Amino acid sequence: NHLSDIDGNFIEQFQSVNGFDARLWEIYLFASLTEQEFILNRKHERPDFLIQKFDTEIGLEAVTLGRDKNNPPTYLPNEEKLTRPSDILTKIQNEIPLRYGSALFSKLSKKYWELPHLKEKPFLLAVADFHDDFSMTWSYISLVEYLYGQREELVVSEDGSAFTKTEKITHYTKPTGARINSGFFFEPDCENIGGVLFSTSGTISKFTRMGIQAGFSSGKQKVVRVGDRYDHNSTSFTPISFSYLVDENGTETWSEGLNLFHNPNAKYPIDMNLFPTIAHHKLSGEQLISWAPEFHPFSSININTIAK
């Protein structure tokens, strides 16, 4: 099974600085969708994928948050280059939702659902964040907020008990002063979007781990995976940290870490059973309800060492 080049420039873009991340995301989606036992149709130029399982056919278009021209990738990032926690807290409240909005609206404006082969069929967008080094490990919360137009805040009372408070977010402000609406799923034409797929794992780190797990290691490379995963304890508000040595005994899958955020206003909703091994998130009233696999990582990184 292989990924066909429907654009005719896949190899060229895969070898470029500007195109590598977007093409890697497509390869990751191809591997995950194949693992989910979808039949993939790449006969059309748009969208990126037409997938089928049972009697349901779904259109899927990939999109990424790209880098600014003045921010090239750092292949061996140091602490000085990484975004500081204090800056992250500022960015996730306005800048990052705007970045997600720009990426998603660029695809919404193309009206894929009007294509003859997508008439009266569900349609998904699949987004990944590559706008900065390690940004996919912390921008997750901004996507959720932007999609549903609400922010979850953890409140800890004096007696130590904790609860979440939901705050409606109506808009974000560009540097020009222009206001951009929050709540992507509630915007005009978005009823044609069944949901948004997202993963923090569609990176070169995932491919490194899967290769080692499949036996493609020289033996000199040692990789330790470190991250945070979903805590199924209903009273917990924080994830569980994990770490392990990556080897051939691993059980990681391509779909591990993949999320589907369902559109509450979708004209053609997505059946959860079509994606049985990923996390699903649905809005019920003002509460976002999540269904997650037993092991569901929010984010992780690889610590790589090479023996001399």
**Residue 5 lies inside a defined structural domain of this protein:** no
3-state secondary structure of 4: coil
3-state secondary structure of 274: helix
Burial (Cβ within 10 Å: 0-12, 13-18, ≥19) of residue 80 = exposed
| pLDDT tens, N- to C-terminus, the chain (308 residues) | 566 666 666 667 676 667 788 889 999 999 999 999 999 988 888 999 999 999 999 999 999 998 877 777 776 656 666 778 888 889 999 999 999 999 999 999 999 999 999 999 999 999 999 888 888 888 999 999 999 999 988 888 888 778 888 899 999 999 999 999 999 999 999 999 999 999 999 999 999 999 999 999 888 889 999 999 999 998 888 899 999 999 999 999 999 999 999 999 999 999 999 999 999 999 998 899 999 999 999 999 999 998 77
What pLDDT sits at residue 246? 97
What pLDDT sits at residue 127? 98
Return the bridge partners of 151, or none.
167
Three-state secondary structure string covering 64-128: EECCCCCCCCCCCCCCCCCCCHHHHHHHCCCHHHHHHHHHHHHHHCCCHHHCHHHCCCCEEEEEE
**Residue 240 lies inside a defined structural domain of this protein:** no
Dig out the tokens for 249 from the structure: 């005994």
**Residue 81 lies inside a defined structural domain of this protein:** yes
Q: What helix, strand, coil percent values describe the chain, rounded to 5?
A: 25, 30, 45
Return the bridge partners of 227, or none.
242, 300
Find, among 198, 197, 195, the residue nearest to 264 by Cα. Answer: 195
Task: List all residues 6 or more positions away from 27 whose beta carbon is below 8 Å from its beta carbon.
Answer: 3
Find, among 113, 46, 48, 43, the residue nearest to 263 by Cα. Answer: 113
**Residue 228 lies inside a defined structural domain of this protein:** no
Give this prediction's pTM: 0.92
**Residue 303 lies inside a defined structural domain of this protein:** no
**Residue 238 lies inside a defined structural domain of this protein:** no
**Residue 52 lies inside a defined structural domain of this protein:** yes
Q: Residue 158's domain spans which residues?
A: 10-203+257-296
What pLDDT sits at residue 17? 64
Number of domains into which the chain is organized: 1
**Residue 144 lies inside a defined structural domain of this protein:** yes
